Amino acid sequence: MSSRRPRWGRGGLLLGALALFVGLSALAGLGLGAFEVGPGAVVEVLRAHLLPGGSTPSPIVDAVVWEIRVPRTILGLAVGAALATSGALFQGLFRNPLADPSLLGITLGAAAAVAIAVLGIGMLDVSHAPLGLTPEVLTATRPYMIPLAAFVGSLVTLLGVVALASGPGRLDVTTLLLAGIAVNAIAGAVTGFAIFLADDAQLRDLTFWTLGGLGGASWTVVIAVVPLLLAGLAFVPTLARRLDCLLLGETEAGHLGVRVEATKRSVVGVGALLVGVSVSAAGAIGFVGLVVPHLVRLLAGPGHRILLPASALLGAGGIVLADVLARTVVAPAELPIGVLTTLLGGPFFLWLLAGRRRGR
């Protein structure tokens, strides 16, 4: 036991530092934007909504902070934590450093469904409403079609991949990986065909979707999405020790008393929930799920008890910080967040890698 204590100390320090990072990022998320609001006004708005008996500075400031920035920051924290955690989970499950949330076909499956939805919405003649739907119903549901398509698409691809990889009584991880790669290719082809048919506006819709964005954030979205993500994240700590054992190999983990099949299914289920829900709310934000767990491993080693929570924190803070920049760098316009996560995360990761090589 005593040999482990220094690692916990280091891990604790890392988690503390990351928590500070998340806190600062959230402050930036609430305080910064195209519309100028003083720090005092932000605090006043938060106090008015969270504590009894406060008053807000003005209706506009109130709406900007409470209706736009707060839900956006909360959604960013939840999506960032979910994407990074699912990346760590899948890398642990596959014992493969190249694994990321898109490996099981979940992200591209969602993208293919979104492509079909985008084209479908374009082709849909509202005046000849099918299925007995009124034009009003169709117009009203249009905004929800893309998130819904993303969620259904990710779910369908995941179920397909898992069904393919399920033998009698066991889930074969190698088949899971191969099926995921094949499904990715098929989904890519479907998306490609949709891009071929798309007109300029639809093409742009698709491109922007694949770069992700938190622009759809509102309290409605937060209430629909964040509880699901929190439920998934709450389950993750119970997987940490079992994933550590799985790193030794499935048989060895079994000898250590780990219920291997249940663990694999839990990891796939939780990971898919986190990715599917995130993707439907914020599009396909790239890079975070792949690189955040690697960053943490470079700093704290491969143990999942530190890796999982540290990834969640780094992902949460990183996404919110990237979103602050996305909203402010070209204000009053907005950059797609995927551009920033990759543009900032990439060089940072390379710098760490170079430092590690020199350190040896």
**Which residues inside 313-352 make contact with other proteins, applying CB under 8 A?**
314, 317-318, 321, 324-325, 327, 330-334, 336, 348, 351-352
Interacting residue with other proteins among 2, 50, 51, 59 (CB under 8 A): 59
- Is 302 a residue that touches other proteins (CB under 8 A)? no
Q: What are phi and psi of 171, to 5 degrees?
A: -105, 115
Measure the CA angle with vertex 110, ends 261 and 193; round to 5°: 130
Per-residue mark of binding to other proteins, 65-84 (x: CB under 8 A): --xxx---------------
Stretch that binds other proteins, among 55-63, 151-159, 170-178, 243-251 (CB under 8 A): 55-63
Per-residue mark of binding to other proteins, 221-250 (x: CB under 8 A): x-----------------------------
What is the DSSP annotation of 184-244? HHHHHHHHHHHHHH--HHHHHHHHHHHH--STT--HHHHHHHHHHHHHHHHHGGGGHHHHH
27 or 186: CB nearest other proteins: 27
Per-residue mark of binding to other proteins, 120-159 (x: CB under 8 A): --xx------------------xx----------------
Per-residue mark of binding to other proteins, 187-206 (x: CB under 8 A): ---------xx-xxx-xxx-
Q: How buried is residue 306: exposed, middle or buried, by Cβ count under 10 Å (0-12/13-18/19+)?
A: buried
84 or 217: CB nearest other proteins: 217
Euclidean distance between CA atoms 201 and 203, whole angstroms: 5
Euclidean distance between CA atoms 107 and 122, whole angstroms: 23
171 forms beta bridges with: 166
The number of helix segments (H) and strand segments (E) in the chain equals 15, 0
Euclidean distance between CA atoms 235 and 219, whole angstroms: 24
- Is 354 a residue that touches other proteins (CB under 8 A)? no
- Is 39 a residue that touches other proteins (CB under 8 A)? yes
